[in-house]
Amino acid sequence: MALPFRALFLGPAGENAQIVEDFILEALRDHVFWRRNFHPEDGPFIRESDKRSEAYDASLMRLRQELYYLLSRLKQGAPLFSPRYIAHMTSDVLISSLVGYFAAMLYNPNNISEEAAPVTTELELEVGKQLARLVGYGPQAWGHLTSGGSVANLEALWAVRGIKFFAPAAAMVARELDLPDLPLKRADGKLTTLQAMTPWELMNVPLESVLKLREHLLRMPDPQILRRLDACSVASRGMLGFYRAFERAFDAPLPEPVLLVPATKHYSWVKTMDLLGGGREQIIELPLDEHYRIDPEAFRAMLEDLAASEVPVLGLVAVLGSTETGTVDEIHRLMEVKRSATRLGMDFYCHVDGAYGGYATARFRDPQGQWVKGPYDRAAAASFEALPETDSITIDPHKLGYSPYPAGALVFRDQRIREFLTVDAPYVFHEEDEPHATIGKYIVEGSKPGAAAAAVWINHRVLPLDTTGYGALISNTISCARMLRDALASHRSPEGIRLIPLNEPDLNLVTFIALPPDVGTHADLNRFNEEVYKRFAIHPNRRVFSYEFLLSKTAFDVKKYARGLHTRLDPQVWSMLEEGRPLTVLRSTIMNPFTKDMIEEGAFFSELLEALDREMRDAHGLVFGASKALEAR
Amino acid sequence: MALPFRALFLGPAGENAQIVEDFILEALRDHVFWRRNFHPEDGPFIRESDKRSEAYDASLMRLRQELYYLLSRLKQGAPLFSPRYIAHMTSDVLISSLVGYFAAMLYNPNNISEEAAPVTTELELEVGKQLARLVGYGPQAWGHLTSGGSVANLEALWAVRGIKFFAPAAAMVARELDLPDLPLKRADGKLTTLQAMTPWELMNVPLESVLKLREHLLRMPDPQILRRLDACSVASRGMLGFYRAFERAFDAPLPEPVLLVPATKHYSWVKTMDLLGGGREQIIELPLDEHYRIDPEAFRAMLEDLAASEVPVLGLVAVLGSTETGTVDEIHRLMEVKRSATRLGMDFYCHVDGAYGGYATARFRDPQGQWVKGPYDRAAAASFEALPETDSITIDPHKLGYSPYPAGALVFRDQRIREFLTVDAPYVFHEEDEPHATIGKYIVEGSKPGAAAAAVWINHRVLPLDTTGYGALISNTISCARMLRDALASHRSPEGIRLIPLNEPDLNLVTFIALPPDVGTHADLNRFNEEVYKRFAIHPNRRVFSYEFLLSKTAFDVKKYARGLHTRLDPQVWSMLEEGRPLTVLRSTIMNPFTKDMIEEGAFFSELLEALDREMRDAHGLVFGASKALEAR
C-alpha cells in the first residue's frame, strides 16, 4: 500500500514505537545539551552531592510515585488510536506533531510575542501562510493559531463586528469634525460619499471599501481623526453607547444586523453572539436542503426579505463539515447568491467554519499548488474551489490536521482585517522600530503555546497539504465512511432491526438510526437509540478495554432536518416523528488512517455489525420487553 | 540546601536529564503497551514488510529530515531555563508537568467532555478544587482550566454580565407574566420584592440574592418562566435589545454599569470589555497609591460619586500581581470599602486577576491547609487572606505554577455562578441520566487539551500548594527579586549612571530605570533606556548564546504612576517627566528556582551589574555622543 502515512503514525499496536522513542530521546538530548552550552561556566547547579541528599531523594520518590499513579489513571482513557474508535472527530496524531510538540515544549515558548518565542512565532506565521495557500487565499492573507475552533470563530466574528460598524463610526466622526466629502462605494457598486450614505447604506459598505476608507482616514494629516475614530468605535463605546451615539448624531436609528448561519448551527455561534453582546436573537438560521446543506434558494429569499425590511447582515457563516453530519455547504452557490444581493443594496462578510473540513481542501490541490478536481466529488470540489471568494476561514489542525490539542487556526483573506482586532499592551508590544512580528496584538488569547505551532508546522512539512499528503490521508478515511454507510444500509439484524443512514458522507462522518420493526413512537425510537448508544460510549464505571467499538451520538432537530429525514425515512417512520422532539441519532467519525486496512481484511464491518446486533438485541429487550413482533420472526 | 525542588527541574545544565529521560521513556512505553492490549487480535497494522517498502522509507526519511530541521531551528529559542533569563514571567517548568503533559498527550484527550476525556476531565476538576482550597474558597467552589489568563478573565466577566443583568431580566419576565411578588434583598440588606425595585436597585442586587432568585424562579411550576427568562436575557437579546426591551417595559432607562479596574489596567480587560460589547469606555480606572496598588480611599470616593449619579458597578477587578510591577492590591481593604458601599445601595461582583500572583497564596498555607501569616509580608498576607471574600479568581498554572503553556485557570467561589455561562451543544452534552461531569458546557473554549490538566494536576501532587512546596519555591524567588532591587539601588556605574528601582517587590518582579547623570529630558531618558533594553532583549538576528542576561521592559503612564514615581525619583528627574509621555522602564522577573544559588555563589549580581555597566556605557555613547559630563568624571 503506497499511502504516505505508514511511517508517520505510532500505529494501533505501537508498531512504530522505536521511531518515536528514537526521536523523543533525540529531541530531549538535543535540548539538554543545548542548555549546557549557554554559559557553561555557571553550572552545574544541581550537584552530585545534592542528589545524594535526603531532601532530593524524598522529592524524587514523590515524583516517581505520582508519575506511576498518573500513568495508571491515564489507562482508563479513550482508545482514540484504534480503528475501533469511530466516535468523535479525533484519532491518533502524526508522529511528527507528537515529537514536534514535545521538542518545542522543552523550550516552552510563549507565542504571545516573538520576544518570548522567537522561533515558534515564526513557525506559527508560516503555518498561517500554508493554510492560506491551501484554501487559495492570496499573498495578502494572514493566519495564526488559536486554542481551537471556538476561539477562532469568536475572533472572526469580533473582526466582523468591527468592520460592520466602521462606516457608521466614520460617518459620526466625519460629521463631528466636518471632514471633506469622502468617496465611498455602496453595495451596488455606485460611488457616493460617506457623508451622503443612509444608515442602511452605511451598514452595507463592501469590505474592500471599508478597508480603503480606513486606510484613507488614517493617512489624513489631522491626528484628531484617529483619536475620534477610536473613541467612536463600537469597541470603545460598546453596543449600547454606539447605537445611542449614532441616533443622537443622525436623528435616525441604525438598523441592527443579523448573523446568518446554517440551521445545523454549531453551538459555538450561539456562544459567540452571546459573548459579543450581539445577542443570540440576532442569529437567523438558514433552512437546510435534503443534504443538510444551506439551501441557496432559501438563502436568496431570506436576503430579499431582509433587504425589504432593511435589516442588514452582519455576516454569513458557511460550514465546511458540520459537526453533526459532516456536511459541506455549497460555498460556490452561496457566494453567487451573495454577489447577486448587491443589487438589493446588501453586502456582508463571509466566514467559513472549516474547523472540521478545512484540511479536506488538500484533496483538490496538487503538489505544485494547482487546483485539481480529482475523479470524485464534483459538487464538493466546487464548494472547496470557491473558498478564495470568502473572507476568512476557521481550520482546526487538531481535527483533520492530525495534530494534538490545542490547535485551531483562523485565516483572514486580507491581513488588513486583523487591524479591527488590535488592542495594545505596552509591555509586550513595542512600537518604536520594532523588529518583531507580533501575533498577540491581534488575538483573543494572550499567552499561548509555541509548541502547538511547532507541531502543526512540522506536520505540514512531513505530510504535504496536497493530494499526495493530507489529501490522500483524508480521502482514505472518507472512502471508509462511505463504505460504512453502505454496510449499515444493507445490513438486516436477525431480529429485523434496520440501520438507516441519515447522510451521504461529504467528509468522514456517518449518522444513522437503529430502527426496530416494532417501534411505534418517536419517544420509543429515541429510547432505543439511546440504549444502543450507551453500549458504545465511554462510561466512567466501565473498563475501557471491554469495548468492541466506540460510537457517539447527536440529536437532530426534526423540523430543521426535515427535508433530509423525509427523503431517507420510510413514510411510516417519518410520520411517527414529532416536530418538537429531537431525534436521537448514532454518529460515527472515521478518522483513523488504519481503518481501511481493517476493512480490507474483512474484519471491520463483520465485527461492527455483529457487535451492533448483539447490543441492539440487548437494548431491545430492555426498552420493549419480550416483544411478540421480534419473537415471531 | 533543603528546598524541595532540586529533583523537580531538569536543571540549568540539564543535571537531571537522566530522570527526565527515564520517565519520558517509561510514559511512552507504558502507553505503547497499553495500545497493544486493546484488541490485540486486530494487529499489527504496520507490518515489517511495510517497513522495508520504498514508500515507508521515503516518508521516514522526510520525517527524520524535518525533525532535524525543527531541532536546529528551536535552538534560537529564548533560554528560559537559565538564571540569566530575568525578563518575562516564565522560566523552566517542573519535570512532573513536562512528563505529565507528554504522558497524557500520547492519549490526546479532549477535555471538552468526559466522554472524550474520561480521565483528564476528572483531573481538571480536581485541579479546580485544589486551587479553590488554595485561595480559601469553600466546598461550593468550582474551577477549571483555560488556555490562559485572558480567556479566564473573559469568562469571568461574561458570567458577571449575566449576573448583573439577571434581576432586570427577571423583573421584565415578572411583569410580562404577572408573577406573584418575589421577595428580594436590596444591596443595603432590606427585604423588598423584585417587582418593587427601581432600575438602580435592580442593578445592585447582592450576588447571593441573584443566585437565590434564579433558583426560586427555576423551581416555579410554570415552564413558561424558564423560557421567558432565557428569551429576555442579555445573552439572548444582546446589549442593545436588552436595554431597549427594559425601557419599553418600564418606561425608564436602565443605568449602564461600569467596570472598575486598577489604573495599571492589564490590556486583557480592555480587550474583554471590547469583546463583550460593553465598550472600553465603560472601564473606570481606580487611582494607584505610591505602591501602584488601588488606593482604597480613592475607591471609596469613586463609589460615592458613582452612587450619587446612580451609575452601577458591573464588577471590581482587583489584581494579585500586576504584569507591570507585580503589585498585589490590598484586597482586604478593598473588600471593606465594598461592604461599606452597601449603605449607598451598591453591590457588585469582585473578581481577582491572580493570573500571575495566585500561586503565591501557597506561602500562607500550611500542609494541613491552615492559614499561616509567616514571618514576612504582613500587608501582603492580609491581601491573600481576604481572597475567600471575593467571587472568582484567575490563576495561571503556566506562570507561577511552573507548568508548560497552555494552562490558565478560573475558580468561582460558588459553582452556581457558572450557570450564567451555559450554552448547550446537543451532540456533546447529553442530558438524560448523564453520568459525566461536563466542563464544555460552562466555558468560552470548546476542544481543549486534557494533557494540560494532567500536567497541572501532577505538579500539585509533587509540589504541594503550601509553605513546604510552592510556597517555599515562590518565596525563594521573591527574596531574589528583593536582593536584586537592593543591588540595583546601591550600584553606581563607573560613569555615574544610576539604577533607580521603581518598586519594592510584592512578588518576584523588579522595575527600574537607568539614569545617566547628564540626561536632561524625558525623551532622552526613554531613548537611553530603550537602548539599554535592546542589548538585553531577544532579537531575531542575534545569536541567542551571545547574551549575558535577558531583561524585558514596560512603559509606565506617568500620570497614573505619579505617586509611586514621585516617591522614588529625585525632584530633578521627576520634574523632567512629561505627563503625556510613557516612561520606558526596565523590567525583570526572577522566577528561576536556581537564581538564588547563583546569587549565593556571588557571581550573579557582579556579572549582571558588569553587563549593565558595559551596555549602558555603549548605549550612552550612542544616545548622547561623547558627553562632556561623563568624560569629566
Q: In sequence order, what DSSP letters do the residues of A211-223 get, joined into one string?
A: HHHHHHHHHSS-H
Contacts of B436 in chain A (CB under 8 A): 540
8 Å CB contact of B4 and A555 = no
Query: Phi and psi of B121, rounded to 5°?
Result: -65, -45
8 Å CB contact of B60 and A21 = no
- Measured between CB atoms, does A30 come within 8 Å of chain B? yes
**pLDDT tens-digit readout, B531-548:** 999 999 998 889 999 999
CA pair distance B560, B568, nearest whole angstrom: 14
Contacts of B266 in chain A (CB under 8 A): 425
**pLDDT tens-digit readout, B538-576:** 988 899 999 999 999 999 999 999 999 999 999 999 999
Mean pLDDT, residues A273-284: 95
Contacts of A418 in chain B (CB under 8 A): none
8 Å CB contact of A71 and B26 = yes
- Identify the weakest region by mean pLDDT among A63-72, A365-374, B228-237, B623-632: B623-632
Look at residue B420 and tell me whether its pLDDT is greater than 50: yes
List beta partners, residue A354.
A395
Minimal CA separation from B283 to chain A, in Å: 10
Look at residue A108 and tell me whether its pLDDT is greater than 70: yes
Query: Phi and psi of B313, rounded to 5°?
Result: -100, 125
Mean pLDDT, chain B, as a whole number?
93
Spatial contact of B408 and B145, defined as CB atoms under 8 Å apart: yes
CA pair distance A312, A306, nearest whole angstrom: 7
The DSSP code for A582 is P
pLDDT band at residue A432, thresholds of 50, 70 and 90?
very low
Spatial contact of B321 and B285, defined as CB atoms under 8 Å apart: no
Residue with cell 506511576: A68
Sort B572 into a burial class: Cβ within 10 Å, 0-12 / 13-18 / 19+.
exposed
Whether residue A406 has a cis bond before it, omega within 30° of 0: yes
Mean pLDDT, residues A131-146: 97
Q: How large is the ipTM?
A: 0.96
- What is the residue type of A159? A
Q: What is the pLDDT of residue B514?
A: 98
**pLDDT tens-digit readout, B254-305:** 999 999 999 987 788 999 999 999 999 999 999 999 999 999 999 999 999 9
- CA neighbor of A554 nearest in space, from A218, A326, A360: A326
Q: A286 CB contacts (<8 Å, ≥6 apart)?
A: A260, A261, A262, A263, A294, A295, A298, A299, A302
pLDDT band at residue A632, thresholds of 50, 70 and 90?
very low
The DSSP code for B23 is H
8 Å CB contact of B78 and A118 = yes
Sort B601 into a burial class: Cβ within 10 Å, 0-12 / 13-18 / 19+.
exposed
Closest partner residue to A449 (CB to CB) among B231, B405, B444 is B405
8 Å CB contact of B77 and A149 = no
**pLDDT tens-digit readout, A61-84:** 999 999 999 999 999 999 999 999
Interface A-B, measured as beta-carbon pairs within 8 A, has a size of 550
Q: C-alpha cell of A445?
A: 488569547
Q: C-alpha cell of B125?
A: 476538576
pLDDT band at residue A113, thresholds of 50, 70 and 90?
confident
Q: What is the pLDDT of residue A3?
A: 67
**pLDDT tens-digit readout, B16-46:** 999 999 999 999 999 999 999 999 999 899 9
**pLDDT tens-digit readout, B96-117:** 999 999 999 999 999 998 888 9
- Give chain B's end-to-end CA distance (angstroms, integer): 44
Q: Per this entry, what is the length of chain A?
A: 633
- Measured between CB atoms, does B114 come within 8 Å of chain A? yes
Mean pLDDT, residues A422-434: 45
CA pair distance A589, B583, nearest whole angstrom: 56
**What is residue B191's three-state secondary structure?**
strand
Give percent of chain B with pLDDT exceeding 90: 88
Minimal CA separation from A387 to chain B, in Å: 24
Q: Per this entry, what is the length of chain B?
A: 633
Query: Phi and psi of A193, rounded to 5°?
Result: -125, 160
Q: What is the pLDDT of residue A425?
A: 38
- Measured between CB atoms, does B607 come within 8 Å of chain A? no
Q: What is the pLDDT of residue A438?
A: 74
Sort B64 into a burial class: Cβ within 10 Å, 0-12 / 13-18 / 19+.
middle
Whether residue B44 has a cis bond before it, omega within 30° of 0: yes
**A627: Cα within 13 Å, side-chain hemisphere:** 19
- Give chain A's end-to-end CA distance (angstroms, integer): 44
pTM above 0.90, yes or no: yes
Minimal CA separation from A189 to chain B, in Å: 31
Give CA separation, A607 vs A387, A602, B39, B42, in Å.
Answer: 40, 9, 12, 11
- What is the residue type of A582? P
- Measured between CB atoms, does A115 come within 8 Å of chain B? yes
pLDDT band at residue B590, thresholds of 50, 70 and 90?
very high
- Measured between CB atoms, does B24 come within 8 Å of chain A? yes
8 Å CB contact of A587 and B25 = no
8 Å CB contact of B115 and A537 = yes
Residue with cell 518583531: A436
8 Å CB contact of B70 and A530 = no
Spatial contact of B229 and B261, defined as CB atoms under 8 Å apart: no
Q: What is the pLDDT of residue B538?
A: 93
pLDDT band at residue B409, thresholds of 50, 70 and 90?
very high
Look at residue A207 and tell me whether its pLDDT is greater than 90: yes
Nearest CA in chain B to A156: B275
Give CA separation, B550 vs A533, A628, B52, B354, B482, in Å.
Answer: 56, 80, 49, 25, 18
- Measured between CB atoms, does A49 come within 8 Å of chain B? no
- What is the residue type of A273? M
pLDDT band at residue B375, thresholds of 50, 70 and 90?
low
pLDDT band at residue A114, thresholds of 50, 70 and 90?
confident
Look at residue A328 and tell me whether its pLDDT is greater than 50: yes
Spatial contact of B43 and B49, defined as CB atoms under 8 Å apart: no
Nearest CA in chain A to B43: A13
Contacts of A53 in chain B (CB under 8 A): 6
Note which residues in 413-442 of chain A have CB less than 8 A from chain B.
423-428, 430, 432, 435-436
Minimal CA separation from A629 to chain B, in Å: 28
Question: Each residue of A479-495: b (16+ CB within 10 Å) or e?
Answer: bbbbbbbebbeeeebeb
8 Å CB contact of A107 and B457 = no
Look at residue A223 and tell me whether its pLDDT is greater than 60: yes
Note which residues in 446-475 of chain B have CB less than 8 A from chain A.
446-452, 454, 457-458, 461-462
pLDDT band at residue A442, thresholds of 50, 70 and 90?
confident
Mean pLDDT, residues B208-228: 92
- CA neighbor of B341 nearest in space, from B315, B372, B363, B370: B315
- What is the residue type of B591? M
pLDDT band at residue A471, thresholds of 50, 70 and 90?
very high
Closest partner residue to B268 (CB to CB) among A35, A242, A446 is A446
Give CA separation, A527 vs A531, A552, B266, in Å.
Answer: 6, 15, 51
Contacts of B92 in chain A (CB under 8 A): 108
**What is residue A547's three-state secondary structure?**
coil
Nearest CA in chain A to B116: A78
CA dihedral sign, ordered A161, A166, A167, A171: positive
Q: Best residue in A33, A42, A292 to probe B by mutation, most B CBs within 10 Å?
A: A42
Q: What is the pLDDT of residue A174?
A: 97
Spatial contact of A613 and A493, defined as CB atoms under 8 Å apart: yes
Look at residue A378 and tell me whether its pLDDT is greater than 70: no
Note which residues in 144-173 of chain B have CB less than 8 A from chain A.
147-151, 154, 158, 161
- Measured between CB atoms, does B582 come within 8 Å of chain A? yes
8 Å CB contact of B538 and A107 = no
8 Å CB contact of A66 and B149 = no
Q: What is the pLDDT of residue B424?
A: 52
Closest partner residue to A256 (CB to CB) among B36, B240, B448 is B240
Mean pLDDT, residues A212-238: 92
Minimal CA separation from B187 to chain A, in Å: 25
